[in-house]
């Protein structure tokens, strides 16, 4: 119900969600949804280009929730960068961590739990540049580094880590005592 209630619109209209960045990205995201459906995923809500007349000029995709996502499917293996949330079931914490680490990407991981110990176990074990516990937003601070592991991202953004990515460290040792 919450996903279906997300208001789409132009930024000036103060929507909950705007369009994807380009027509190419819109088709890419819709292609992932189609491929996931072929692999057995079912759309609980959304799954198509938004049809409202006032959204026709933009690249709007309905907020999408997909269930029954197959292990190893394109929906689990790719960074979709669109309004798509997938549901994957697991039997144990170890299995959940293995699923999260079983992709070539690792930008951001979201964990929802009342057990902080479990959250820290996941945060330590997943190969992800950021772990968000009991919340998932784009908010952050310029002082917090952002970037992914593996094939995610383009290095580090923000913070001292970003500045360091523009430097080269060199150690020069000179023995003035001999020679």
Task: Give 151-176 as a 3 state SS string.
Answer: CCCCCCECHHHHHHCCCCCCCCCCCC
* CATH number among 3.40.309.10, 3.40.640.10, 3.90.550.10, 2.40.110.10, domain 1-89: 3.40.309.10
Ordered by start, the domain boundaries in the chain are: 1-89, 90-179
Q: What is the CATH number of domain 90-179?
A: 3.40.309.10
**47 within 8 A of 66, measured Cβ to Cβ:** yes
Q: Is residue 128 classed exposed, middle or buried when 0-12, 13-18 and 19+ CB atoms within 10 A define those classes?
A: buried
Q: Which tokens sit at 47?
A: 């799954």
Give the pLDDT of the chain (179 residues) as one tens digit per residue.
Answer: 889 899 999 988 899 999 999 999 999 999 999 999 999 999 999 999 999 999 999 999 999 999 999 888 899 888 898 999 998 889 999 999 999 999 988 878 888 899 999 999 999 999 888 888 988 765 665 556 566 555 565 555 566 666 666 666 667 666 677 66
CA distances from 151 to 61, 81, 89, 127 (A): 25, 14, 24, 11
pLDDT at 130: 82
pLDDT given for residue 153 in this prediction: 59
The C-alpha angle 109, 102, 79, rounded to 5 degrees, equals 55
Among the listed residues 1, 4, 15, the one whose alpha carbon sits nearest the alpha carbon of residue 54: 15
Q: Do domains 1-89 and 90-179 have the same CATH topology?
A: yes
Separation of alpha carbons 61 and 49, rounded Å: 4
Q: Tell me the C-alpha distance between 16 and 71, whole Å.
A: 31
Structure tokens that stand for 72 in this block: 């190893």
Which pLDDT score, from 0 to 100, does residue 1 have? 81
22-44 as b/e, with b when 16 or more CB fall inside 10 Å? eeebbeebbebbeebeebebebe
Q: What is the pTM of this model?
A: 0.75
Give the other-Cβ count within 10 Å of 135's Cβ.
9
> 3-state class of 48 per DSSP?
coil
Two tokens, residue 15: 């929507």
Compute φ and ψ for 8, nearest 5 degrees.
-90, 150
Residue 61 phi/psi, 5-degree rounding, is -120, 135
């Amino acid at each position: 119900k919450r996903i279906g209630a997300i208001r789409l619109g132009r930024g000036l209209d103060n929507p909950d969600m705007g369009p994807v960045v380009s027509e190419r990205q819109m088709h890419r995201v819709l292609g992932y949804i189609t491929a996931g459906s072929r692999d057995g995923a079912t759309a609980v809500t959304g799954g198509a280009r938004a049809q409202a007349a006032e959204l026709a000029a933009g690249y709007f995709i309905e907020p999408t929730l997909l269930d029954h996502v197959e292990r190893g499917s394109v929906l689990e293996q790719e960074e979709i960068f669109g309004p798509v949330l997938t549901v994957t079931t697991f039997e144990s914490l170890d299995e959940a961590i293995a699923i999260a680490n079983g992709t070539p990407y690792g930008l951001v991981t979201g964990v929802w739990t009342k057990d902080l110990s479990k959250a820290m176990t996941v945060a330590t074990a997943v190969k992800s540049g950021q772990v968000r516990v009991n919340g998932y937003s784009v908010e952050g601070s310029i002082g917090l580094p952002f970037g992914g592991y593996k094939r995610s991202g383009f290095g580090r953004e923000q913070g001292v880590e970003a500045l360091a990515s523009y430097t080269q460290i060199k150690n020069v040792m000179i023995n003035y005592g001999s020679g």
